Amino acid sequence: MGEKVVAGAFDLSDRQRYRDKLRQCLTGLERLLAQQRFDRPKNLMGLEIELNLAGADGLPKMLNGQVLERIASRDFQTELAMFNLEVNIAPHRLGSRVFDRLAEELRTSLAYAHRKAGEVDAGIVMIGILPTLDRDDLVSSNLSDVDRYTLLNDQIVAARGEDFTLEIDGVERLSCTSKSIVPEAACTSVQLHLQVTPARFADVWNAAQAVAAAQIAVGANSPFLFGRELWRESRPPLFQQATDTRPPELKAQGVRPRTWFGERWISSAYELFEENLRYYPALLPICDEEDPLEVLAAGGVPKLAELVLHNGTIYRWNRPVYGIADGVPHLRVENRVLPAGPTVTDVVANAAFYYGVVRALAEDSRPVWTRMPFEAAAANFDAACRHGIDARLQWPRRGRLGGTTEVDAVNLVRDELLPLAEAGLDAWGVEPADRDLYLGIIEERCRRRTNGASWQVATFHRALEAGLPRDAALAATTRRYAELMRQGDPAHTWPVGLPEPVPLG
């Protein structure tokens, strides 16, 4: 990001120059699409997981710099706050025993990271929101020591011009303010990437949008924030509010938030990038020296650096990604809806469900997005975040009647989406043993109506009933969660409650 990241200042001409470069990049993308320069189908998937650092007491540890130094692997990187890390798994070809291989790689990487974190009395916790986080943990002094995070924080704060308001009305109510974007660091997620051809992009993105609510319903794992029990998946409202550049007046005018679900089905990837330019002013107007149109005219592949940087500051739950591998451009759909955890097995089961059902929905002769209003998909996403595995969702009726009907999320997943996911994984060439193992975990969650969020809530309330104060109950729940996470059995099998009475004091 160059010298200006260090300087942390932009002058008035920077934004106009950046806007001009963005338009050039968009034109470059349009020409690349018209010239059919994009990579051929490779069935490639990728995965990133954001992680928390916590001590043996279950409380967050602000030690990511020291832990990363000890891990000494490019697979692990910083994230926004000092209690965060991110692990990146190299792309895999979808097919065969890919999910077992993925699970083994993740277990090996996380076990190694946990051992290294132990050298500074910390440990890895894979969870949507660490229940023991306090407001005092989420302050700008705990930003990771990386210039781009400081600069991003400064630009979002400047764009907003006032404190951020966090208001989530769930089982309990949270209402507070923040002077920085650091509360967003509480949100730790799994990001699933799928490389697609331009011709398939819109179908895959629309399918991912349609199924996002079902993903959240079965995978929710973030019921607590600042000691309050909120939504079963509290990350989306927290993320939106913690990065919201709009004061109330701009909200009233209908200005779009930088974190959003979207507002319509699409017919091409280009539409999403064009929408970025139309709706969102630059947060980081840093210009690259490349002239993308000159590179194209010379037969090269432009980096489209400004377009990529701008896209990275707009937090769609399903985000388009432009990348270059081995000198060839490609497009990816980045699915960002899922929380981290609870276990590696759960993460891989969530991935198998997503890749299977998206393939089947994208290839359906009567696509779900032609039979369901986009507003219903957006409302479904909200309902799933609020209620998790107990959500009720709108879904197209079967047969010729048309329209939508309201169904239990678990029934929708079990009766309709899991058979689609099975067909989708078969189409990818995934081995039946992998398919049945991981989709079976999703089916069992539905049968027992249990996921990470419901386990956390039930265990927390058991601890309260046993006489623990709230903070102690949250810490005990977190410690038990971390213990079971490392044992590795999927969360729907976890016994509710603490293993033995915890003495008071």
Q: What three-state secondary structure class fits 403?
A: coil
* Contact assessment for residue 188 and residue 51, using Cβ atoms and an 8 Å cutoff: yes
Helix H segments across 233-373? 235-242, 248-252, 269-279, 292-297, 305-311, 344-362
- 46: exposed, middle or buried (Cβ count in 10 Å: 0-12, 13-18, 19+): middle
- 385: exposed, middle or buried (Cβ count in 10 Å: 0-12, 13-18, 19+): buried
CA 198 – CA 180 distance, rounded (Å):
38
Output the pLDDT for position 3. Answer: 35
47-83 residue pLDDT tens = 999 999 999 999 999 999 999 999 999 999 999 999 9
Of the pLDDT bands very low, low, confident and very high (cuts 50, 70, 90), residue 502 is low
Please list, in sequence order, all residues whose beta carbon lies within 8 angstroms of the beta carbon of residue 337, skipping any fewer than 6 positions away.
Answer: 189, 212, 215, 216, 236, 317, 318, 381
* Contact assessment for residue 287 and residue 18, using Cβ atoms and an 8 Å cutoff: yes
Q: Quickly count: other Cβ atoms within 10 Å of residue 472's Cβ.
A: 17
206-234 residue pLDDT tens = 999 999 999 999 999 999 999 999 999 99
* Contact assessment for residue 194 and residue 355, using Cβ atoms and an 8 Å cutoff: yes
Checking if the pLDDT of 394 tops 50, the result is yes
Greater confidence (331 vs 3) lies with: 331
339-377 residue pLDDT tens = 999 999 999 999 999 999 999 999 999 999 999 999 999
CA 309 – CA 295 distance, rounded (Å):
19
Stated pTM of the model: 0.96
Of the pLDDT bands very low, low, confident and very high (cuts 50, 70, 90), residue 1 is very low
Name the residue with tokens 């990604």. Answer: 321
Query: What spatial distance separates the first Cα and last Cα of the chain, rounded to whole Å?
Result: 50
Checking if the pLDDT of 171 tops 80, the result is yes
CA 114 – CA 105 distance, rounded (Å):
14
* Strands 84-93 and 44-54, bridge-based pairing: antiparallel
- 289: exposed, middle or buried (Cβ count in 10 Å: 0-12, 13-18, 19+): exposed
Q: Calculate the CA dihedral of residues 270, 382, 133, 118 and round it to 10 degrees.
A: -60
Of the pLDDT bands very low, low, confident and very high (cuts 50, 70, 90), residue 98 is very high
Name the residue with tokens 């699915």. Answer: 335
Peptide bond into 342 cis (omega under 30): yes
Question: DSSP labels for 88-124?
Answer: EEEEEESSBTHHHHHHHHHHHHHHHHHHHHHTTT-EE
* Contact assessment for residue 457 and residue 223, using Cβ atoms and an 8 Å cutoff: yes
**What are 242's two structure tokens?**
């913690």
267-286 residue pLDDT tens = 999 999 999 999 999 999 99
Of the pLDDT bands very low, low, confident and very high (cuts 50, 70, 90), residue 13 is confident
The dihedral built from the CA positions of residue 424, 426, 430 and 433, taken in this order, carries a sign that is: positive
Weakest-pLDDT range from 98-102, 142-146, 259-263: 142-146
Output the pLDDT for position 147. Answer: 86
Q: Quickly count: other Cβ atoms within 10 Å of residue 351's Cβ.
A: 21
